[in-house]
């Protein structure tokens, strides 16, 4: 038993000694600075999903997606397409410089009653984001129908 314990201790000591002789895994100096901006154009949105919530028919149709070019080159949005004719996007046609904000405005046809989920697909020069999808969704509710008044001032006549 003493021999087994001795061999185990010897193996453990040899392993520890060999490991201690290795060079550190990283030899580059550690820096407290933040990582540089992504090379090329890059867009970062405040949100990529806008919920209209429950709105009445004919309610406010416009929403806005705000973004920042976090890259090192001007950002160009060459196209923005709605998933159907009821969703119409407007986007900046001029380049968005690094660090500058921009927005994509979306107009949804709130005359269409019911739940909806629609998309706007952007075509850009952003590295890794050549196409980018934004989402809008909500529920357009029908206006409450007016209740017609009857001839006796709203009171129902009793049936005999």
**Nearest-5° Cα angle at 136, 119 to 130:** 40
Q: Quick one: average pLDDT of 57-69?
A: 97
The closest of 6, 104, 107 to 62, measured between CA atoms, is 107
Average pLDDT over residues 131-138: 96
Gap between the Cα atoms of 129 and 36, Å rounded: 18
Tokens of 110: 């709130």
pLDDT score for 129: 86
Look at residue 12 and tell me whether its pLDDT is greater than 80: no
Mean pLDDT, residues 127-134 taken together = 92
Indicate the pLDDT class of residue 123, thresholds 50, 70 and 90: very high
Q: What backbone phi and psi angles, to 5 degrees, belong to 7?
A: -65, -40
Portion of the chain with pLDDT greater than 90, in percent: 62
Residue corresponding to tokens 């028919």: 57
pLDDT mean over 45-56: 96
Q: What is the pLDDT of residue 16?
A: 45
Q: How far apart are CA 72 and CA 98, in angstroms?
A: 5
Give pLDDT tens digits for 105-122: 999 999 999 999 999 999
- Mean pLDDT is lowest, of 42-46, 69-73, 145-149, for 145-149
CATH numbers and ranges of domains, the chain: 43-141 (2.60.40.10)
């Amino acid at each position: 038993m003493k021999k087994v314990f001795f061999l185990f201790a010897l193996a453990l000591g040899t392993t520890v000694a060999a490991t201690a002789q290795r060079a550190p895994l990283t030899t580059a100096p550690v820096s407290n600075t933040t990582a540089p901006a992504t090379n090329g154009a890059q867009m970062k949105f405040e949100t990529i999903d806008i919920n209209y919530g429950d709105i009445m028919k004919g309610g406010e149709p416009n929403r806005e997606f705000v973004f920042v070019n976090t890259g090192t080159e001007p950002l160009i949005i060459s196209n923005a397409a709605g998933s159907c004719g009821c969703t119409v996007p407007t986007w900046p046609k001029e380049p968005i410089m690094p660090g500058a904000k921009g927005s994509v405005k979306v107009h949804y046809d709130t005359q269409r009653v019911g739940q909806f989920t629609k998309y706007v697909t952007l075509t850009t020069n952003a590295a890794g984001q050549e196409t980018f999808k934004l989402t809008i969704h909500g529920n357009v509710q029908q206006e409450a129908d007016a209740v017609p008044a009857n001839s006796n001032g709203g009171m129902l006549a009793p049936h005999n």
